[in-house]
């Protein structure tokens, strides 16, 4: 049984760590706030987790990753592997690669697409980038977590660029679908009827799943918090700014998510973006 480490037992990290334990790994886990989980071995520090030689981080953002990084680099043995599965900024991911190299450690980026329920089922889509040998070493582990593994290059930050591009598409879809729901309703069409058209015509699991969440207004408990959506939109703009890439839609999304957080929706699911759209259309008072 191979021993591995896992840092971050949030709504995504906990089911992922449990799946690794069920796949036969001995998982040493650490979370900032102590959390018991059947099948996992809870330890006292990220440093202790990293001593396994292979550590996964699944944390909220760049800052949360940076907070544990010194202990991870200290705890990893020479040649140890750190797999970052969080959504991180492209510049930060590039810097992580260099810092691991200088410390004599290895770094692989493998951010995921999927909500907590997909994580629990082991049905994540994983984007991976790094040295081919590192990808091969991680492949059995990644297959225990997801149904698809997409390799996008040898520079780890490329995986985070792809992840941000995908999140940009999802956020744009949420905005468009929310606007469409409001449009058809204000023209006398039931949202349920419109959803059936969307589900049948677009035939996408993303449209089907998010369309249903919007229809049923399942904003709590959150699968992905709106404030984290704002964080990702800001990371998207960071990647765009550093490469002189205009994002007209991105500026609209930034305003929408910022308004949602300002109106107190930051801890709700990011599909609560619908409430922002409804408010701008003058129907928020009926919700």
Residues marked active site are found at 163
Q: Is there a contact between 27 and 4 (Cβ–Cβ < 8 Å)?
A: yes
Residue 166: in which H helix or E strand, if any? Answer: helix 157-186
Backbone angles phi, psi at 269, to 5 degrees: -60, 150
In angstroms, the CA 169 to CA 165 distance is 6
106 pairs with which residues across the strands? 81
Chain CA centroid to CA 88, Å = 9
Query: What residues have CB less than 8 Å from 51, skipping those under 6 apart?
Result: 5, 75, 76, 77
Q: Which of 254, 287, 258, 260 is nearest to 273 (CA)?
A: 260
DSSP letter, residue 269 = B
Residue 125: in which H helix or E strand, if any? Answer: strand 124-128
Q: Which of 252, 251, 274, 262 is nearest to 227 (CA)?
A: 262
Tokens 């969080």 belong to residue: 86
Angle value at C-alpha 279, between 276 and 282, nearest 5 degrees: 155
Burial label, 36 (beta-carbon count in 10 A; 0-12, 13-18, 19+): exposed
Bridge-based pairing of strands 112-113 and 124-128 is: antiparallel
DSSP letter, residue 143 = H
């Amino acid at each position: 049984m191979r021993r591995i480490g896992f840092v971050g037992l949030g709504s995504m990290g906990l089911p992922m760590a449990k799946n690794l334990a069920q796949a036969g790994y001995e998982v040493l886990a650490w979370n900032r706030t102590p959390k018991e989980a059947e099948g996992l071995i809870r330890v006292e520090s990220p440093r202790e987790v990293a001593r396994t030689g292979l550590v996964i981080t699944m944390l909220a953002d760049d800052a949360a990753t940076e907070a544990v990084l010194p202990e991870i680099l200290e705890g990893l043995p020479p040649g140890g592997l750190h797999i970052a599965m969080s959504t991180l900024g492209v510049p930060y991911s590039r810097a992580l690669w260099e810092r691991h190299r200088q410390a004599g450690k290895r770094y692989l980026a493998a951010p995921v697409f999927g909500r907590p329920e997909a994580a629990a089922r082991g049905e994540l889509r994983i984007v991976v980038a790094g040295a081919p040998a590192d990808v091969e070493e991680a492949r059995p582990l990644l297959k225990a977590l997801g149904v698809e593994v997409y390799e996008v290059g040898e520079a780890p930050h490329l995986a985070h660029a792809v992840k941000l591009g995908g999140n940009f598409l999802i956020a744009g879809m949420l905005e468009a679908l929310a606007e469409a729901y409001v449009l058809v309703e204000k023209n006398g069409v039931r949202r349920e009827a419109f959803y059936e058209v969307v589900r049948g015509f677009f035939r996408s699991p993303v449209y089907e799943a998010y369309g249903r969440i919007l229809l049923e207004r399942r904003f709590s408990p959150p699968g992905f918090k709106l404030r984290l959506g704002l964080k990702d939109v800001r990371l998207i703009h960071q990647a765009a700014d550093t490469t002189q890439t205009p994002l007209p839609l991105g500026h609209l999304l930034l305003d929408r998510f910022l308004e949602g957080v300002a109106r107190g929706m930051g801890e709700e699911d990011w599909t609560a973006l619908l409430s922002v759209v409804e408010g701008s259309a003058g129907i928020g008072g009926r919700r």
